[in-house]
Amino acid sequence: GLSERLQSVMSKIRGKGKVTEADVKEMMREVRLALLEADVNFKVVKDFVKRVSERAVGQEVLKSLTPGQQVIKVVKEELTELMGGEQSKIAVASRPPTVIMMVGLQGAGKTTTTGKLANLLRKRYNRNPMLVAADIYRPAAIKQLETLGKQLNMPVFSLGDQVSPVEIAKQAIEKAKEEHYDYVLIDTAGRLHIDETLMDELKQMKEIAKPDEIFLVVDAMTGQDAVNVAQSFHEQLGITGVILTKLDGDTRGGAALSIRAVTNTPIKFVGMGEKLDALEPFHPERMASRILGMGDVLTLIEKAQAAVDEEKAKELEQKMRTATFTLDDFLEQLGQVRKLGPLDEILKMIPGFHKIKGLNNLQIDEKQISRVEAIIRSMTKEEKMHPEIINGSRKKRIAKGSGTSVQEVNRLLKQFDEMKKMMKMMTNMPKGKKKGFKFP
């Protein structure tokens, strides 16, 4: 993923006061790849990288961030901006009913989303929607909507499959007026590919139904093709919003970015499952993280920023560099890490962590940390500075004093020793070969 690749670049430019053009160029190469991997359209990627580069070069680095983190911050801000603010509002007609047309390719999730949206309108906005079965071409499409209507206990308007969709829409709206439904959600037919017959029919329906919203329903797994689909629906119909479905899958969802950039219409909701309550407002920030494949790196950076005393952090880093890191420093660092919040929550924010097999059910043991802290606290000043003097009898004393065992004391000393060795290795490595991301 992006984060792994960026980390090596980031560690290289650590410690500089200004972000240089070369730094940004190197990082942008990785960002570009990540976006393309997430199926963002190449033209969108090109424009994006250009804009971020212009903004990032020459920036003063915030005291609490490394230059690498700073560039990531700019990337995420721009990405969020590109996807627009939170836009989960739905139009309300001045004279009811409010009419919504659901359009999109076959299999995108129109029918399911029609049910979900009706559910949301009733639950969240206290509305009284009517569903309209206007897909007369796909076998069982009417039945599918009727089943959803039954589950929701909501009326489904249908005239079978022998009446034209345009006529169905017209009569449905009349009926909604008479019976005081305030929303009419029209489920329309899709095709496997965009074709003229489909578009003509939708255009006629738009003429007659005068919808307040036309929502384009797009399968988030549609990669590069999403742009073409969105573009032609938008050109022909003028869509007012996008609903991205199947985001519960493992797609990175780069389509969202492309669609937003190409149509300049907001993504309003995302489908997160097959169930009727699996429709959520679109959160641009979350999507930005997802597209970049970075977990919540930025949240982590921000949390770290808030909790870690800047001067202390610098001091620690200096100590790590010169490998004069002592057990006292270790204790201090443990305390700072704990300030960030419950450990397992912090670990969850580290990109890729959730993907590591077997760690899913891992309970991070806070008690373990307390024991380590107790052990270190039971050492004398001299022992903490020079742990090599800790012999058998000292170990026994420390274990007793901390309410732990000699084995635990041994384990800690061994870990600390390894940690120091690793630090030494890292600081002695030639520039550019360093790995890893200082945490926090």
Residue 251 engages ligand GDP in binding (rule: CB under 6 A): no
Nearer to ligand GDP among residue 110 and residue 260 (C-beta)? 110
Choose the contact partner of 163 out of Mg ion, ligand GDP, none; CB within 5 to 8 A by kind: none
- Residue 228 beta carbon to ligand GDP: minimum distance, rounded to whole angstroms: 17
8 A C-beta contact, residue 211 and residue 184: no
Of 246, 264, 108, residue with least CA distance to 187:
108
Give the one residue of 73, 76, 234, 246 binding ligand GDP; rule: CB under 6 A: 246
Q: Which stretch binds ligand GDP (CB under 6 A): 44-52, 109-117, 300-308, 342-350?
A: 109-117
8 A C-beta contact, residue 316 and residue 334: no
Give the one residue of 67, 68, 97, 109 binding ligand GDP; rule: CB under 6 A: 109
Choose the contact partner of 258 out of Mg ion, ligand GDP, none; CB within 5 to 8 A by kind: none
The rounded distance, in Å, linking the Cα atoms of 397 and 400 is: 5
Give the one residue of 111, 222, 333, 402 binding Mg ion; rule: CB under 5 A: 111
Q: Which stretch binds ligand GDP (CB under 6 A): 271-279, 321-329, 358-366, 393-401?
A: 271-279
- Residue 111 beta carbon to ligand GDP: minimum distance, rounded to whole angstroms: 3
Task: Report the site for ligand GDP in 173-192 (rule: CB under 6 A).
Answer: 190
Phi, psi (rounded to 5 degrees) for 280: -130, 155
Count residues binding ligand GDP (CB under 6 A): 18
List residues forming the annotated binding site for GTP: 104-111, 187-191, 245-248
Q: Which stretch binds ligand GDP (CB under 6 A): 106-114, 121-129, 313-321, 344-352?
A: 106-114
Q: How many degrees, rounded to 5, is the angle at CA 57 between CA 51 and CA 61?
A: 125
User: Residue 398, exposed/middle/buried by CB under 10 A (0-12, 13-18, 19+)?
Assistant: buried
- The number of angstroms, rounded, from the C-alpha of 384 to the middle of its chain's C-alpha atoms is 43
Q: Which stretch binds Mg ion (CB under 5 A): 11-19, 78-86, 136-144, 313-321?
A: 136-144
The rounded distance, in Å, linking the Cα atoms of 228 and 167 is: 29
Strands 183-188 and 213-219: unpaired
Tell me which residue has tokens 């003097």: 389
Give the one residue of 200, 274, 310, 418 binding ligand GDP; rule: CB under 6 A: 274
The rounded distance, in Å, linking the Cα atoms of 325 and 335 is: 15
Q: Which residue is nearest to ligand GDP (CB)?
A: 271
Residue 106 engages ligand GDP in binding (rule: CB under 6 A): yes
Q: How many beta carbons lie within 10 A of that of residue 144, not counting itself? A: 18
Of 375, 412, 414, 415, residue with least CA distance to 397:
375
The rounded distance, in Å, linking the Cα atoms of 253 and 287 is: 8
- Residue 109 beta carbon to Mg ion: minimum distance, rounded to whole angstroms: 8
Residue 265 engages Mg ion in binding (rule: CB under 5 A): no
Tokens of 207: 């003429």
Nearer to ligand GDP among residue 222 and residue 258 (C-beta)? 222
List residues forming the annotated binding site: 104-111, 187-191, 245-248
Of 370, 372, 389, residue with least CA distance to 380:
389
Question: Can you give the binding site for ligand GDP, defined by CB under 6 A?
Answer: 104, 106-112, 190, 217, 245-246, 248, 271-274, 278
